[in-house]
Amino acid sequence: MAFGLDLLGGSGGGNGPVAVIDIGSNSLRLVVYDRIDPAPIPLFNEKVLCGLGRGLGTTGRLNPEGVVLALATLQRFVALAHSIGARRLDVIATAAVRDAADGPDFAARVEKSCGIRIAVLDGESEGRLSALGVLAGIPDADGLMGDMGGGSVELVPIAAGRPGASVSLPIGPLRVAEWSGNERRLREIVDQHIASVAGLDWARGRSFYLVGGAWRALARIHMEHTGYPLHVIQQYTVNRLDAEGFLQLVGSQSRKSLEKVGGISKKRLENVPLSAYILGRLLRHVEPRQLVFSAEGLREGFIRSLLPLSEQARDPLLAACARMAASYRRFGADGREMLDWCSPLLADGNPERRRLRLAAALISDIAWNEHPDYRAEQAYMRVLRMPVGGIDHAGRVFVATTLHARYGGPADAAIRHGPSRLLSEDAAAEARTLGLALRLGYTLSGGAPGVVGRTSLDMVDRELVLTMPEDIAPLVGESVQRRLDALSRQFGCRGTITVAAPSPPAPPLRAGARRA
């Protein structure tokens, strides 16, 4: 298991930034997270495609050119981690370094030249950490995880929030590249390794969670191919039958055609056809119901492994939203107070819908410092693309639609046209209702805590009634009435504001009398 190098003294980690360097068969990557947390925020992320594992299947050794580039890159990454102020640095290496004959020599050179320690993960540890990364972003994952690196593919079953035993197969694209011109031999090698895995029948009809840069590149190409309206890799989902046809199409495309897809480096594209081929063979053996792409994997799983089990169990979406709310809170009003206030207007809903409502309410005041003319648009796009886990694409659109309405965005705004197709009509209507109710609550209270809780919002005989005590009646004004009217139109009724008379004082006690 990897271990941390404390850069600033003390026990390491703490609440400050932590850095992870991942030495893969194809790429080297440095990610600096803000802290060890169920929903860590990447502060810095840099990748260099070194190709350490290129030719490993033939020579049994690391690629010499890749070694030179990797040594220079690692010196830069370590210097960056120091400069950024990371409190802890972990360096983990995977298939290429563990399998190459000269892997130990490479690790020793790195440790000597960079002054760091490298943890070379075995296949079991690599797969387990990648599965933990999937669970960090998709807590209810149930199925098979596949993590493709340049040199290997790790397969791990996931059920009931826990990863099972990991299997590592030496069929990464760099490892089998020498047979790319001989499809028959390539198929024999790949199928032989996949067939050696016992228990794959368990995953039939379940989800197949895909981790790794090459497979993320396939997701981007599929998005471009289908005109998908939300370019977010995390939890992008494709059913198996569509995926099989698409993978065959990718294999028939020229390099020039693939280069037209934005956001994929030319070096990464070199491995895309082989990665598509290997995935296609896996689908034939596993027969999953759908493919679910995960942007979180080995590094996020490693961060998760550093947390106590109680912290690992926290909801990553709600943890991230609570942190965002704390960073942008103005006068102390809490999203939970606002949600409790407007909940009488919402159907009870299933647990997932209630969870999304809470997420939206928690971050419902994050755009107050944006330009007034662009608050709704900025809030919508920010939430739609926020780098957090624990939320699928329909959920992203629900929360974004809520905040768009909360900041006064019109229902027919052009910015919503594409993503809105990912949301059902009833979910879209509820999101807008919640957003308009939150807008009313913030206008009424100014964002001050303890105000809306003293009022009530109820539907009475097809009339939306806002009731408040007499002592805070001066808070009512033209803007409050306008917000109430906008919310009332969602229900096809009119809104009324009533002031509750104070309760009469209790009569004085007479001698010998007792109050009940």
Q: Is residue 37 located within the same domain as residue 138?
A: no
In a domain, 55, yes or no: yes
Residue 57 has a pLDDT of 84
In a domain, 486, yes or no: no
In percent, the amount of the chain with pLDDT more than 90 equals: 79
pLDDT in tens, 468-495: 999 999 999 999 999 999 999 999 999 9
Residues 284 and 423 in one domain: no
pLDDT of residue 3: 43
Higher pLDDT, 365 or 249: 365
For the domain that residue 178 is a member of, what is the CATH number?
A: 3.30.420.150
Residues 443 and 7: their CA atoms lie apart, in Å, by: 47
Q: Over the chain, what is the mean pLDDT?
A: 90
- With a CB cutoff of 8 Å and minimum separation 6, the contacts of 51 are 25, 26, 63, 65, 66, 69, 150, 174, 267
On whether both 128 and 107 belong to a single domain, the answer is no
pLDDT at 265: 62
Sorted by sequence, the CB contacts under 8 Å of residue 257 that are 6+ apart come out as none
Which residue would you say has higher pLDDT here, 508 or 142?
142
Same domain, residue pair 142 and 95: no
Position 2 confidence tier, pLDDT thresholds 50, 70, 90:
very low
Q: Quick one: pLDDT at residue 1?
A: 39
Pair (65, 93) in one structural domain: yes
> Is the pLDDT reported for residue 271 higher than 90?
no
- Token reading at 179: 């047979």
CATH of the domain at 384: 1.10.3210.10
Q: How many angstroms separate the CA atoms of 115 and 133, rounded?
A: 28
Q: How far apart are CA 305 and CA 322, in angstroms?
A: 22
> What is the per-residue pLDDT across 274-313, written as a single tens digit (0 to 9) for each?
999 999 999 999 999 999 999 999 999 999 999 998 899 8
Q: Are residues 371 and 295 in the same domain?
A: no
pLDDT of 269 reads: 75
**Mean per-residue pLDDT, 236-260:** 83
Q: Is the pLDDT of residue 10 over 50?
A: no
CB of 286 closer than 8 Å to CB of 144: yes
Which carries the bigger pLDDT value, residue 502 or residue 370? 370
412 has a pLDDT exceeding 60: yes
Q: With the C-alpha atoms ordered 369, 372, 374, 378, is the resulting torsion angle positive or negative?
A: positive
- With 80 as the cut, is the pLDDT of residue 511 above it? no
The residue-averaged pLDDT of 54-68 equals: 93
| Residue range(s) defining the domain that contains residue 401 | 316-452
Do 113 and 141 share a structural domain? Answer: no
Q: Look at residues 398, 417, 452 and tell me which one is the last residue of a structural domain.
A: 452
**Contacting residues for 431 by C-beta, under 8 A, at least 6 apart:** 360, 397, 398, 399, 401, 402, 405, 423
pLDDT for the residue 181: 87
User: Does residue 252 sit in the same domain as residue 191?
Assistant: yes
pTM of the full structure: 0.89
Phi-psi region of 488 (alpha: psi -120 to 50; beta: other; left: phi over 0): alpha
| Paired residues of 210 in beta bridges | 146, 293
Band of residue 250 on the pLDDT scale cut at 50, 70, 90: confident
Instruction: Give the pLDDT confidence of 166-218 residue by residue, as tens digits.
Output: 999 999 998 998 898 899 999 999 999 999 999 999 999 999 999 998 899 99
Last residue of a domain, one of 231, 265, 299: 299
pLDDT of residue 255: 64
What's the pLDDT score for residue 9? 37
Nearest CA to 273 among 286, 255, 292, 288? Answer: 255
Is position 30 within any domain? yes
Q: Residues 154, 100: one domain?
A: no
pLDDT of 13 reads: 42
Taking 60 as the threshold, does the pLDDT of residue 251 lie above it?
yes
Residue 236: φ, ψ to 5°? -65, 130
Number of domains the chain contains: 3
Query: CATH code at 41?
Result: 3.30.420.40
Both 140 and 102 in one domain: the answer is no
